[in-house]
Structure formats: structure tokens, C-alpha cells
Amino acid sequence: MSSGTRTLIRGGLVVTAADETHADVLIEHGRIAALAAHGTAVAESWTAERVIDAANKYVIPGGVDAHTHMELPFGGTAASDTFETGTRAAAWGGTTTIVDFAVQSVGQSPRHGLDTWYAKADGNCAIDYAFHMILSDVDERSLAAMDRLVEEGVTSFKLFMAYPGVFYSDDGQILRAMQRASDNGGLIMMHAENGIAIDVLVEQALAAGRTDPRYHGEVRRALLEAEATHRAIQLARVAGSPLYVVHVSAAEALAEITAARAKGLPVFGETCPQYLFLSTDNLAEPGFEGAKYVCSTPLRPGEHQAALWRGLRTDDLQVVSTDHCPFCFSGQKELGRNDFSKIPNGLPGVENRMDLLHQAVLDGHLTRRRWIDIACATPARMFGLYPKKGTIAPGADADVVIYDPHAEQTLSAATHHMNVDYNPYEGTRITGQVETVLSRGEVVIDRRTYTGRAGHGQYLPRGTCQYLG
Ligand code: URP
Ligand code: ZN
Ligand code: ZN
Ligand code: ZN
């Protein structure tokens, strides 16, 4: 079916970050044309080539996952989802936009890195996609490139206080990049962990024979996440730039963000489903199973979860993204069987985010509207995609999910669509399931059958962060 088709979604509960209404949704030319209260004369007068019955279902904006790493080269291997397989899995899970990370490698220009990522994604994506840029080599050339990238629609830059020798930037490089962002409107995204100190603890742990995956969690101490978060915030203040802290996992790091926001500083925080639903208990699973849960920042003891849920409710954390960076247990995670520091870092999740957060609504952690806020609307605003993405309103792209809030499912590698041989949420029971997904008016999931195609997804140049004046 082409995006020229007129589609009508009838009788569902339309949930956005702002409100919930029983409304019919009319789609034309790939966009939301109009909404009208269900049963009214206006809504009844509408006709369409395709009518989707959404009675007893939610009609929600497609998810915006602002943190994915398809095909990321890491630790001598590469993330196992390609842009094709990863975006298809995203569609299955009700996500219709990803913002992935293009990488500047050490010694390369950002331009070269970005062009490489454009080529990887071009013609392969099932849903729309955009890029952030990872800067691994902040020098004069990179700083100048930042200005051009912002103009081109790559308006956010990830820096790493961790991974010395790979992605790491020192404080001087971070300050310079923040100063540049404060001038050109870019948003600095920070991987906030003190990687220099962590590497000392890694070396000491390995020398003492502590090679098991659980030591990954022990050496990457919560205090070293908090310290780096604090330092990043102070550097951003000095530079006069906004700051977005990615994958916050430690309560102590969240406390730094909360304190900064209480001062009115433009500091934002993201967490991920793995930090909300998993813990160091998973990292300690015997028989090297813990390797399935190795990511950075690491999973924390269960107590941290309550702080993260609270942060999402109080808006001290604004976004839940997946940091989807899958590595197969077989052949990839196994690279670190005798040395946890050689386990490639990252977890799959792009397909499971919307469902896990719906379960969080049922469990009382979030309201329905907050679910849509943190998963759709706020990431779209944060990264300059709103209201094209992240809401259901006239003029917005018709990226719409028909969500069955009553369906029961069990998350499993046996049924997921991500190209990875395990699921970190294996056996988790979820009430709620994606039924039908539209991307710019095209049905890409039709009552749980994939009807999309690689190449439907379009590249999205982005505006700057919409939370800044
Ligand atoms: O472990 C993780 N998070 N892998 C992906 C790279 C990053 O730091 O986000
Ligand atoms: Zn028409
Ligand atoms: Zn990171
Ligand atoms: Zn990441």
C-alpha cells in the first residue's frame, strides 16, 4: 500500500504525551490529516481506502529510540544487528524512528565517519533514521566540522569520559567541544564514567584473577559514574552549554543531574530499560551467562531502579532509549570468556522498549501519557524532530502504532526479530503488544505480520534541541 492511500484509524484511544482522547485519525499522503472525536458527525463522514479498527486498542505515536548502535564496530567485532535487521526489529516493537550514532574514529575526520554511516544505512532501513556523531578525536578539524554538521542536521555529539585509547576525550577536549556546541547550537551527549580510574581497577581485578563478568559491574563503580557526571556538568557550566547524559544507571549519578536541574541548568538525562528491569544479579549469573548483561554504564544493584523510576516521574530523567548494541552470546560475548574486559559492551533492546515501558505503566511506575512522553515526544523534541515525529497531530508524519493493551506475551529470543541469539528479558511476561504499525502512512506491521521493506526508511536531518531557547 502506498503512502498516497487515505487511511482511517477508527475507535481507538489516542494517547499522546499531552492527552488521551477517543478519536478517529485520518491519514493522507503519509501525514496525519485530522483527528475527530469518535462517533461525531465529522468522524462518521470520513471515508478511506483503508480502515483500521482500533476499538479497545491504543493509538499511539511510533516510538522514537534516540540511542542505537546498528553495526557498531566494538572490541574487535561489530554489533550484530545491521541497519536492515535492526530497524525491522524496531518496527516490530512499535518504534518508527531511530537516532543512531555515526562514529569518528581516532585519526579520521568526522566527515569521513558520517559518510561511512550514511552509506551503511542508505537503502537498508525499514523505518526513518537520523544520526548523532560520536567524536573520538576532538581537535581543530573536528571542532570546525561540528559547525557544518549542525547545519547539515547532525545536531548532537557524543563524547566519552570512558574507554581511554578508543573513544575517550580528556577534560580539555570536552571543554572545547562544549564551547563549540554552545556557539553552534549543538547538544553534547556524555558517556559519563571515569575511564582512567576504571582501567586501573580493571587491571587490578584481572591481576587478582577476577575474570568473571560480574567484575565488569564491580570495577565500573557507581561513584565513578557519579564523579564523571558531576565533572561533565561543571564543564558544561563553564562552557555555557547544555548537556545530555546518556545511559544513566547509578542513583548517585542521577542525584548529580537532579541537583543541576534544581539550579535551573540545561542538563538532561536518559536511562534505558536494562537499568530499570535488570540488575547486578543478572551479571552474576553462573556459567558465563553474566556476559549477556555486560554493557556500560553497567547494570547496578536492584536498589538503583527505584531512584531511576522516580527520576522518570519527576522529570529529572527525560528519555528512555535502548542503547541497542547487540552482540551474540556465541562467538561475540564469548571473546571475554577468560577476561571480562574483552566482552563486547552492549545489550539488545530496540524491539522491547515500548512493551517494557507499557508494563511499567501497569506496574504503577509511569502514567500512560508519561510512557508516550519519555519514549516518543521528549526524544523527538530533544533531538529536533518534533512535531514531525513523536506525536499524533495534524501535519505530523503518520507514524502510528495500534497497541493492544490486553494482549499477553512472553519476551524471548525464540520469537524476537533482533539479530541476536539471546534476549536479556527472556521469559519476562508483558501485558500489551504492538498490533499494527504505520510509518509515514505505510503499514509496516499489519496485525503482527511484517509488511515493510528495507529502503522504506528515510534519513531525517534534524533541527537543534527544542528545549533550548
Ligand atoms: O555498553 C554499551 N553501552 N555499548 C554501546 C556504546 C556506548 O557506550 O553507548
Ligand atoms: Zn489524497
Ligand atoms: Zn556510552
Ligand atoms: Zn550507546
Q: Whose CA is nearest to atom 7 of ligand 1?
A: 296
Measured from the alpha carbon of residue 327, the closest ligand is 1
Name, in order, each residue with C-beta under 8 angstroms of 139's C-beta and a sequence gap of 6 or more: none
What SS3 class is residue 311? Answer: helix
- The sign of the dihedral angle between the CA atoms of 4, 8, 383, 253 is negative
Closest CA to 155 of 178, 132, 130, 179: 132
**Averaged pLDDT for residues 141-153:** 98
Measured from the alpha carbon of residue 321, the closest ligand is 4
C-alpha of residue 191 to centroid of ligand 3, in Å? 4
Give the per-residue pLDDT at 3: 54
Contact 249, 295 (CB under 8 A): no
Of 74, 80, 323, 333, the residue with max ligand 1 atoms within 8 A of its CB, to mutate for a pocket test, comes to 323
In a domain, 163, yes or no: yes
Domain that holds residue 149: 62-382
Q: Place 2 in a pLDDT band, splitting at 50, 70 and 90.
A: low
Nearest ligand 1 atom, CA 294: 1
**Whether ipTM exceeds 0.85:** yes
**Averaged pLDDT for residues 196-218:** 98
In a domain, 193, yes or no: yes
Instruction: Count Cα atoms within 13 angstroms, Cβ side, for 408.
Output: 2
pTM: 0.98
Query: Cell 543531574 identifies what position?
Result: 257
What SS3 class is residue 439? Answer: strand
Average pLDDT value for the chain? 98
Nearest ligand 1 atom, CA 191: 8
In a domain, 236, yes or no: yes
Give the per-residue pLDDT at 112: 98
Domain count across the chain = 1
Q: Place 4 in a pLDDT band, splitting at 50, 70 and 90.
A: low
C-alpha of residue 249 to centroid of ligand 3, in Å? 11
For strands 319-320 and 267-271, give the pairing. parallel
With DSSP H G I counted as helix, E B as strand and the rest as coil, what are the percentages for the chain, rounded to 5? 35, 25, 40
In a domain, 200, yes or no: yes
In a domain, 390, yes or no: no
We report the CATH number of the domain holding residue 366 as 3.20.20.140
Q: Whose CA is nearest to atom 5 of ligand 1?
A: 346
C-alpha of residue 328 to centroid of ligand 4, in Å? 17
DSSP state for residue 376 in the 8-state scheme: I
Of 101, 159, 249, 295, the residue with max ligand 1 atoms within 8 A of its CB, to mutate for a pocket test, comes to 295
C-alpha of residue 23 to centroid of ligand 3, in Å? 40
Dihedrals φ, ψ of 6, to 5°? -85, 125
- The sign of the dihedral angle between the CA atoms of 115, 116, 117, 122 is positive
Give the span between the Cα atoms of 43 and 37, in whole angstroms. 7
C-alpha of residue 68 to centroid of ligand 4, in Å? 6
Contact 196, 231 (CB under 8 A): no
Give the span between the Cα atoms of 420 and 147, in whole angstroms. 37
pLDDT surpassing 70 at residue 44: yes
Q: Place 5 in a pLDDT band, splitting at 50, 70 and 90.
A: confident
Looking at this protein, which amino acid is placed at residue 329?
Answer: F
Q: Whose CA is nearest to atom 9 of ligand 1?
A: 323
In a domain, 192, yes or no: yes
C-alpha of residue 51 to centroid of ligand 2, in Å? 15
C-alpha of residue 444 to centroid of ligand 2, in Å? 20
Kindly state the percentage of the chain with pLDDT values over 70: 99
Q: Which residues have C-beta atoms less than 6 Å from ligand 1?
A: 69, 191, 247, 295-296, 323, 325, 345-346
Give the span between the Cα atoms of 318 and 330, in whole angstroms. 35
Looking at this protein, which amino acid is placed at residue 297?
Answer: T
In a domain, 274, yes or no: yes
DSSP state for residue 62 in the 8-state scheme: P
Give the per-residue pLDDT at 201: 98
In a domain, 432, yes or no: no
